[in-house]
Structure 1
Amino acid sequence: MRIVIAEDSAVVRAGLAEILADSGHQVLAAVGNAGDLLAAVDEHHPDAAVVDVRMPPGYTDEGLRAAIAIRRDHPATGVLVFSQYIETRYAADLLGAAPGGGAAGVGYLLKDRVGDVDEFVEALSRVAAGGTALDPEVVTQLLRASRRDTGLGSLTARERDVLALMAEGRSNGAIAATLVISERAVEKYIASIFSKFGLAPSDSDHRRVLAVLRYLHP
């Protein structure tokens, strides 16, 4: 992968660059503020960007707002927010910012909950390939801030469980193992979710991602 990193801490920034380089990936730029991040993405058109939420000058949500801009203006670049903080105000906007409602990959992981390097690199690879990688706590917080989605009320409790695991980026096999059900049952639940959300088969839309966006976006 070709990657850009935006992290205000020089130590963390250098560590991420070393981890990704050691894993065989190319770090095109490692920057410390949102303005430099946007400039780097404009210049390099990377496969993925790793972005912290709080960066100079205000240390509030500069990184997340830059990530939203990347999703909107560079839909081929996957965006992985990697932070200590959950910003629900903008996180749902991040998930829906790409043209077409989620054609590019997106992730939101909490630094203190990533278990190991392989887990992080695998999540970033999934995002770069157009998938999702959402921390369960991020999903929980977004759900609390997103109760106006009328389609969500039609789902059964088990369908909600399946969709929550889809939002984390889990495969059908992983969902089946977590819920202790068969993969065939998972497929039936997902088909029912698509039906209730009105997501008909399409050559251009990624229904799995669209269902996750419907679930999380107010």
Structure 2
Amino acid sequence: MSERLRVIIAEDNYLVREGTRRLLEDSDQIQVVAAVSDAAELLQAVSTLRPDAVLTDIRMPPTHRTEGIEAARQIRRDFPQVGVVVLSQYSDAAYATELFRDGTDGLGYLLKVSIGALDEIVSSLRAVVSGRSVVDPAVVERLVEQQVRQSQSPLRGLTSRELDVLREMAEGRTNTAIAEGLHLSESAIEKYISTIFTKLNLGEERRVSRRVAAVLTYLRDPNGPHAAGGSTDTANG
């Protein structure tokens, strides 16, 4: 039998935390050296106990947003010998992208439904301890879908400055107000808007206002800069 891994569990739900502890310890492959309820306790436990790996939830106190992801990235930065598997009930590509922002080595992203599959959890923990990465297939599918959407985005060809102008247009500002806000001349703004219309294929023959059509294109894009974490900045402006 392989040597037992020393693991810290971080989960704010008591029943889930203790259930996961019992499940892992019953495998005879894992020694749970600590089970904590928030990111601050997790970081302190890692610093004190130096485990082989961490199994953490994403959402924990105090804000229940991305504490687990932030803690995972800090652990990998401060204690690179410690592998981290993040558990989530969401197959949202944005969470995975944030987790792997600084690299994928020693990190895993699994869905919470995997908890019942003990062999999968144990093998994932061993993988991150060895420096490899593990991603749930459902999350990989979301990441691929996101890349396809981004490659097809009508905003992809706009420069950062053109996106700035379009963002101001979407907020209902006039050319004069946009010029003042971006510290540019009004004639420069008019040129940017004309270029935006051209790149978005909004010709003069359209019955709907080109300005309205441009704003609608911006707002309908699921990966546009108005979306949380979204960015379509592909050229220098």
Bucket of the pairwise TM-score, normalised by the shorter protein: 0.5 to 0.7
1:70 counterpart residue number: 75
2:64 counterpart residue number: 59
Secondary structure of 1:80's counterpart equals: strand
2:22 counterpart residue number: 18
* Residue correspondences, number: 145
Q: CA deviation at 1:59?
A: 1.1
Q: CA deviation at 1:128?
A: 1.7
Q: Is the 8 A contact 2:53 2:129 kept in 1?
A: yes
1:170 counterpart residue number: none
Q: CA deviation at 1:96?
A: 4.5
1:61–1:96 CA distance, 2 compared to 1 (3 A): closer
Task: Report which of the two has the higher share of helix.
Answer: 1
Secondary structure of 1:3's counterpart equals: strand
2:167 counterpart residue number: none
2:94 counterpart residue number: 89
1:48 counterpart residue number: 53
Take 2:129 and 2:24, find their aligned partners in 1: how far apart are those partners? 13
1:30 equivalent in alignment to 2:35 = yes
Per-residue CA distance 1:54-93 (angstroms, 9 max, x = gap): 1111111111111111121111111101121245334224
2:6 counterpart residue number: 2
Secondary structure of 2:44's counterpart equals: helix
Q: CA deviation at 1:113?
A: 4.8
1:88–1:16 CA distance, 2 compared to 1 (3 A): same
Q: Radius of gyration: which is bigger?
A: 2
2:108 counterpart residue number: 107
Query: Considering only aligned residues, what root-mean-square deviation do their CA atoms show, in Å?
Result: 2.1
The TM-score, its normalising length taken from structure 2, stands at 0.55
Q: Note the residue ranges of structure 1 that are not aligned, 5 or more in a row.
A: 150-218
2:122 counterpart residue number: 121
1:78–1:53 CA distance, 2 compared to 1 (3 A): same
Take 1:53 and 1:9, find their aligned partners in 2: how far apart are those partners? 12
Q: Is the 8 A contact 1:53 1:85 kept in 2?
A: no
Larger RCO: Structure 1 or Structure 2 (Cα < 8 Å, ≥ 6 residues apart)?
1
Take 1:36 and 1:16, find their aligned partners in 2: how far apart are those partners? 17
Q: Note the residue ranges of structure 2 that are not aligned, 5 or more in a row.
A: 152-237
Take 1:31 and 1:80, find their aligned partners in 2: how far apart are those partners? 15
Take 2:55 and 2:37, find their aligned partners in 1: how far apart are those partners? 12
Q: Is the 8 A contact 2:20 2:115 kept in 1?
A: no
1:73–1:81 CA distance, 2 compared to 1 (3 A): same
Q: Is the 8 A contact 1:65 1:90 kept in 2?
A: no
Secondary structure of 2:74's counterpart equals: helix
Equivalent AA in structure 1 for residue 134 of structure 2 = A
Take 2:74 and 2:136, find their aligned partners in 1: how far apart are those partners? 21
Per-residue CA distance 1:86-126 (angstroms, 9 max, x = gap): 453342242253xxx44x42111101256621222122222
The TM-score, its normalising length taken from structure 1, stands at 0.60
1:142 counterpart residue number: 143
Take 2:87 and 2:95, find their aligned partners in 1: how far apart are those partners? 14
Secondary structure of 2:18's counterpart equals: helix
2:161 counterpart residue number: none
